Structures are given as C-alpha cells and as structure tokens.
Amino acid sequence: MRQIGRSEQMALYDELKRGKSISPWHRETGYDRQTIRPGKQAGDAGFRADPSEVREARPRLLDPYKEYIRERVQEGCWNTAVLFDEIRAQGYQGGRSLVKDFVHPLRPARTPEPVRRYETPPGRQAP
C-alpha cells in the first residue's frame, strides 16, 4: 500500500469536496480504500490547503502565570517546586512538569568548576 503524496492529497481533497466518492479514486489511482477514507471522513479538516498554514494558538494553562514566573526567576528563585506552589495558590490548575519545562530554558547554563591538578614525586602520596 503506497502513501498518498501531497499533490495527490490536495487533488483528492478537492474531488471529495465536490462529492466524488472513494470508489472512482480507488480505481483511478490504485490506492486502497482505507488509504483514501481518512481524507473523506475528516472533511474540511482532513488536508490543509497550504502546508505552511498554522493553526490558531489556543490558550495554555500556564499562559496567565508566565510573567509572574519570569519575574520570580529574575529575582533568583529557580526552585520549580516553590514556583509551582506559588502559582497554585493563585489558581493554577496545571501540572508541575509544565512549570519545570517553562523554567528550564530561563536558567543560566552551569559551568563546571575547574580542577587544579598537581603532581607528587614518585613514591610520595598526596596529602
């Protein structure tokens, strides 16, 4: 069973919108009916006319609290458990992992402590 290409998806979508049934498409293209059916069942939502078309952003649970979290991070509070408890008291209904995922890129990158190396003479143990 082959996959339907993008140009064929668009042609199929146009034909299905005009009322053409699955059987003629099956006979003309050789695609299995099960491959064609999702486009018909999905209707207008089945295929997007433009692949770059972006869905409208829907509000997220954390959106009303993002500015508060940024302010607290600027103040030096990196503890996501504390931030979670604070916004939970303000009415946040989401989970802790959303807060952790949001705070992670705001944290500065850690730089490892440089290690001072030293050598001891042969036969002597370092203190």
- Any domain includes 31: yes
- Residue 101 belongs to what domain range? 63-106
What does the pLDDT look like over 43-102, one tens digit per residue?
A: 544 555 555 566 778 889 999 999 999 999 999 999 999 999 999 999 999 999 999 999
Question: pTM of whole model > 0.75?
Answer: no
Residue 19 has a pLDDT of 77
6-60 pLDDT, tens digit per residue, is: 777 777 777 777 777 778 777 777 777 777 766 555 554 455 555 556 677 888 9
Residue 90 belongs to a domain: yes
Within-domain flag for 95: yes
Supply the Cα-derived Rg of the chain in whole angstroms.
29
Tell me if 78 sits within 8 A of 103, measured CB to CB.
Answer: yes
- 124 domain-assigned: no
Question: What distance in Å separates the CA atoms of residue 120 and residue 117, rounded to the nearest whole number?
Answer: 10
Spatial distance between the Cα atoms of 118 and 126, rounded to a whole number of angstroms: 9
Cα separation, 79 vs 75, in Å, equals 12
Q: Does the pLDDT value for residue 109 go beyond 80? A: yes
Q: What domain count does the chain have?
A: 2
Asked if residue 1 is part of any domain, the answer here is: no
Per-residue confidence (pLDDT) for residue 44, from 0 to 100:
47
**Helical spans, DSSP H, in the chain:** 6-18, 22-29, 33-42, 66-75, 80-89, 96-103
Would 54 be classed as within a structural domain? no
- Would residue 36 count as lying in a domain? yes
Name the residue with tokens 């409208």.
56
Q: Is 93 a member of any domain?
A: yes
